[in-house]
Structures are given as C-alpha cells and as structure tokens.
Structure 1
C-alpha cells in the first residue's frame, strides 16, 4: 500500500470513529414521545445512602424518583436548559411530592427542562402522574423483608391499576434487590405500552424487597 492510500484509509477509519462517538442529536424541549414515571423503592436506595435525608427514619416505601420524557426509539433528552432554576414557590410545591429538595432540583434540571413545560406545570404533571398510579397494598411498607419475582410485582401493579396494559410497567433491580418500578405514560399522562427500551431488568428467581428505614 502506498503512502497516499494509507493516509486515505486512516482518514476513513478516523471519520468512522468520530461518527460513532458523536451523540445523537437532541430534539427541542417538548419534542419527545412518552413519559416514564419512575418510582424508587426507598429502602434499597438507603442501603447505600444511609446518611441521605431520605433515609432518616421516615419509613418510606416507594417514593417518586422522577417523570422522564423519553424517545420511542430509545434514549431521552437531558438538561435542555441547565441554567433554569426553581422559584421558591416551585420548591415548596415540589417538596410535597419529591422525597428531598436535592432530588427535586436534579430532576427538574435533567428531565423537567426537556418537558416543554415551565417548572410549575411540570410539577403539576408530575403530581398528576404520581396520583394516577395506585401502589399495590402488598407493596406498602411492611414489617419483614419480602421476596417476590419481578413478574409478580408487575402483576400486582396491573391488578391495582386496571387501566394499565400488559406492557406498561417495568421492574428494575440492583442484583437481586428491588430498586425501581417504571410506568410508561403518554404525554397526556395515560397508561401507555412501553417500547423495548423500557423493560424489566431483574434476574430470574426471587428478588428481595428490603424493609423501610
């Protein structure tokens, strides 16, 4: 191979590497396909964050993690306006639905700013989404660790939410411990089928549901 051909080949390889490394173009705020409502099982979070404000003996079970705009083909917009700040009124409103102020601020910056809504309307949408999902009685805080399979947790949510479709909920684990439940919602906050990018991520067999802290 002569030098000219070698340089051309190297240039082609570098161009391919750059193309692969380039992030997918992010759509404008508000231009997304559906929401994921993420509900975190607080006791699992507290196993690794015992000093967090969320874990100070409040006895939480499921808590709001966030309401996330998503793309149907996978991925999501993030931090569409990182300089946006919550007003004192928004902080007070958000404190009623998020377990900590730090999480509220993080979720607004990373996800809320991509919703196409101002902070007040985004918090109202988040509150409405949270209120639309009934937590199964069997998954309320309890007195002893529980062991269930992921499909059992999915079924409990569907039984407690009759309008929820067969593919509207996903269970997320850390190892063999319950971490989150994610519910897919339309932009109008109705239950929606989750695409392949939102799926249960747990090992086969029983998973542990730790006690509240």
Structure 2
C-alpha cells in the first residue's frame, strides 16, 4: 500500500473518531448543567488535618484552629455516570447567611459553604435549604470508622485499608461505591457515592479515579501529638 493511501486512511479514521466523540459530547451537552438532571450524588468527606497541614499558614482559622476536626464535609456533588454538572444557575440564588451558619458544625468554613452552593448545590434542582438538609442527612448516614474519629498520632494507611474500614462500618456500602482521594503524601478525602434518595450505590467512574498510592499519611486531629 502506498504512503499516500496510508495517510488517507489514517486521516479518515481520525475524522470518524472526531465525529464519534463530538456526538457523544453532544448527547451529554443536552442536559449539561441543567439543574436536577443528574444520576447520583458523591458525598466528599475531607480529612481536615491533611487540609490544614498542606495549607500551612494559609489555612483558614475557622477550620484549622484548635477545634479537633477529623472528617468534615467538603460537599455533596451531583454527578452523571460520566462527568458532572456545575454552576447550573449563574448568578446563583443568594444563600441566606442563616443557612450558612447552620452548616458550620460539619462544614467549618463559610467560604466553602458558599462555593459549594454556587458550584454544586445549584445543580441539585432544589432550594438551598433542602440541598443543605440533604447534605446533613447524607453525612449522618455515613458512619466514620472508630479509628478515624480522634487519632492523636500520625497514621500511615493504604487506600485499601481506609476503604475496607468504611465498608465494615457501613452495612450496604461496597468497595465499588467508595473512593479515596490523595495528594503526593496525604489522604485528602473519602468519596462515597449515593443515590438521589441517599442510599449507597456503585459508581465506576469515581472508583476508577481513586488514589493508587500504596501508603498515605493521615495527620492527627488538632490537639494530637
């Protein structure tokens, strides 16, 4: 086969692939960022000591002061089976200060609460009050394993160990419904997939994006050694 024909066939294949990808993207775009049009939630639980240690002097005082926070809520994120919506109302409806302050016990940073409402909450298709009620309900459903409630010393863990501990502590939760997120050194988050009714459910894409490191550091809660 001549070089010219090879190049022609390759070019044709690339055009077909481009059209296929464009068609797939168009199918998602028809509901992209439409409030209430999503498949499931991800409850993201941030290991607060890792966040505070990584931020250093830039760490927010509300979260990284003397209070012994362990896992705190990062957010409750609407998801598609692939990808997710964001900023579904621009500008977002104003979040009442009273709702924000009511969430500080589990989301201990005002700026985080406002950002989560703007980026993710507006995609839930509910009022702000209902959305944050669901955040609290989702957090109450997930039981934190005892060894992670108030550790006083640095721990070295593997993602598998953390997932297994959550699975054992939460009947009905499977390894395919939870993922650990990390940076180069620290365990950053545990992400739990939940239905719109806040039951546990599997989520292949979230599971695929999980941390692949062998060992992670979990700093102790504030007041530890």
TM-score (norm 1): 0.85
Distance in 2 (alpha carbons) for counterparts of 1:139 and 1:200: 23
Does structure 2 conserve the Cα–Cα contact (< 8 Å) formed by 1:176 and 1:203?
no
Distance in 1 (alpha carbons) for counterparts of 2:33 and 2:102: 28
Quick check: 1:82 aligned with 2:90?
yes
- Give the count of matched residue pairs: 198
Higher helix share: 2
Deviations 1:79-110 (A, max 9, x none): 11132111133223223431111100000000
User: Superposition pairs for residues 1-213 of structure 1, below 5 Å?
Assistant: 25=29, 26-50=32-56, 51-53=59-61, 54-72=63-81, 74-83=82-91, 84-199=93-208, 201-213=210-222
User: How far 1:118 sits from its partner (Å)?
Assistant: 0.4
Distance in 1 (alpha carbons) for counterparts of 2:209 and 2:188: 11
Does structure 1 conserve the Cα–Cα contact (< 8 Å) formed by 2:194 and 2:201?
yes
Does structure 1 conserve the Cα–Cα contact (< 8 Å) formed by 2:155 and 2:217?
yes
The structure 1 segments of at least 4 consecutive aligned residues displaced by more than 3 Å after TM superposition are 197-200
Does structure 1 conserve the Cα–Cα contact (< 8 Å) formed by 2:173 and 2:200?
yes
In structure 1, the gaps of 5 or more residues are 1-8
Does structure 2 conserve the Cα–Cα contact (< 8 Å) formed by 1:178 and 1:207?
yes
TM-score (norm 2): 0.80
